[in-house]
Amino acid sequence: MKHDSIAVIDFGGQYAHLIATKVRRAGVLAEIRQPDDPTDMFRGYKGVILSGSPSLSAFGEDSEWNKEVFELDIPILGFCFGHQEIAKYYGGRVEHGGREWGLATLNILVDHPIFKGLEKKETVWMSHFDTVVAIGPDFCEYGYSKLGETGKEHRLAAIGSDKYRRYGFQFHPEVENSVHGDEMIANFVIEICKCNPTWSMEAYLAETVERVRAQVGDKSVFLLASGGVDSTVAAKVFGLALGADRLHLLHVDNGMMRKGESQRVLKMYADLGLDQNLHFIDATDEFLAAIGNETDPEKKRRAIGTTFVEVFDREAKRLGIESHLLGQGTIYPDTIETGGTKRADTIKTHHNRVPIIEKLIKEGKVVEPLAELYKVEVRELGEKLGIPREAIWRHPFPGPGLGVRLLCSNGVTPKDDIASLQAAVGPIAESFGLRAYVLPIKSVGVKADLRSYEHPVVLCGDASFEKLTEVSGNILKEVQGINRCIWNVMGDDPKTVEVVEGYMTRDRLDLLREADQIVMDALRHHHLYDCIWQCPTAMVPLKINGVGRELVIVRPIKSERAMSATAAELPPVVIDEIRRGIEKLPRISGLTLDLTSKPPGTIEWE
């Protein structure tokens, strides 16, 4: 059956495939196209959506891409950078400034099919540096944005021209935090482009099975099986496409698993009937030796990813199956955050996207059946494959495991002007009756689709969750050089903070395993495990007020696709239970809760 389709032009923003996913959720086939694809490639589509971009070139020289697309007689909708490109092409003006990220209120000024079924005020998600400040002839302002009731207005947050059938949103309707963004996208696809919704996950599964068979041919697949939902669903897809006899699974304990995790994973695969060719190896010593005393987050990730491949190669030779293709449960966030498309910025290198893996991909030796899906689509696919709910809805756990939750340091404080940052954040917190302290460490974040490596701020004082997130949002929007806010829930204000030495060792990993288990047990005890999408526990080598050596950070979040996230509230009784457990552990200097949305903070601290 031939489906109506929409082209999504991927400018390297984090959300291009998320846009395609949302179009598919509306029942319409979406395909990713590159900005320099020839115009003829776009003929036959019912419409085009322009993604965001990590490039700041909307201000100054025009970005280099095939603008002949604008000459096509089909509707075009742009988000963020795409919105700015539409405005410029049709006589508008874009300026550098007016940055926004996080939640904002879109005030809709017009009745239009693209806003069908929506209220006049809608919650939307912003992540941009550049701003449209003027529009050309035949364009109208459809809406403006505002942070809260008293915040600054940002005009031209939504624009459009029915004459040209061109529309632009400064915000990102494709992320979950834009509450009715799905409806806006569906309205464009169905109401404006007049697409017939005939696409489904069943069709995607059938096409994926055929694609795997075509790529693998008469060979077999050797899958690195972590036990997470991605690799588990990938294993079922491979089994369906190739049969159990042509699929080998390898589970590697890299020493950075959760407490008792490998044993649970092996049992789960047996229960799923995936143990016919299931292999296991404990490679803890090898991974820890590869990381050594490395403290840089990117180098740690690359060491972990490279060691995975080395272990895979060695085990494949030992088993006599080195000719098998490498199977991976890679999903789209892994690719885009690693800068895996032409224009994407590297936010953090995922273990399944280190250089040696990229080389194997170019050689056609890697098979990734889920590479265009997000976590929610993987889970939907898993349900259709009959995988039990407890396996599908486990909290996501990164391939590097606790390796990206255990921050390392050589004991040297970063040479940044922390005093200036402190002078900027202090008054903001004080205006809400709280106190704020900039920590002398850094973590990975993402701002306007670009990687950031900046300082966190600790908030101190009693306040509601709503007030804490409001203060956090204001600090993150107003102060450059800050990409996280955390709340102190144990001990006194951090009047003195000392960076101490801390590397990737068994002792530190064991301590983090215990802290992580305390958090997971508390969530299950209070029936919150299924309500929270993910809850990483991180540990940072800091001595606070002369006490301990490890600061624990708990990061409960709400998300669906990992490309955006918001902090999840934990009830006081849960926080108290976690605090009591953490206090009993050795060398602990404090306990905090991460309040940061994504962006500007990534889900993991590294």
Strands 550-554 and 537-540: antiparallel
Would residue 430 show up in a list of annotated catalytic residues for this protein? no
Contacts for 139 with CB less than 8 Å, ≥ 6 apart: 87, 90, 91, 92, 159, 160, 161, 166
Phi, psi of 601 (to 5 degrees): -100, 135
552 bridge partner residues: 539, 591
Among the listed residues 80, 193, 195, 408, the single catalytic one is 80
Contacts for 284 with CB less than 8 Å, ≥ 6 apart: 253, 254, 255, 506
- Containing 308, the helix (H) or strand (E) segment is helix 297-319
599 Cα distance to chain centroid: 9
Number of H helices, E strands in the chain: 16, 27
Specify whether the backbone of 449 is left (phi greater than 0), alpha (psi in -120 to 50) or beta. Answer: left
- Containing 108, the helix (H) or strand (E) segment is strand 93-108
Closest to 272 measured CA to CA, from 385, 394, 379, 399: 385
Q: Tokens for 265, please give them.
A: 């994973």
Q: What is the residue whose two structure tokens read 């799905």?
A: 182
Quick check: 458 and 437 in contact, CB under 8 A? yes
The Cα 205–Cα 419 span in angstroms is: 55
For 399-418, letters b (16+ CB in 10 Å) and e give bbbbbbbbbbbeeeeeeeeb
Contacts for 40 with CB less than 8 Å, ≥ 6 apart: none
The Cα 212–Cα 207 span in angstroms is: 9
Among the listed residues 17, 83, 128, 172, the single catalytic one is 172
Among the listed residues 174, 176, 550, 577, the single catalytic one is 174
The Cα 468–Cα 458 span in angstroms is: 11
140 bridge partner residues: 160
Specify whether the backbone of 217 is left (phi greater than 0), alpha (psi in -120 to 50) or beta. Answer: left
Would residue 193 show up in a list of annotated catalytic residues for this protein? no
Three-state secondary structure of 366-380? EECCCCCCCHHHHHH
CA contacts within 13 A on the Cβ side of 444: 26
Residue type, 409: S
DSSP SS3 for 351: helix
Neighbours of 533 (CB within 10 A): 22
Would residue 17 show up in a list of annotated catalytic residues for this protein? no
Beta strands in 147-294 (DSSP E): 153-161, 166-169, 221-224, 247-253, 278-282
> Helix 506-525 to helix 572-583 angle, to the nearest 10 degrees?
150
Give the residue numbers annotated as catalytic, written as ranges.
Answer: 80, 172, 174
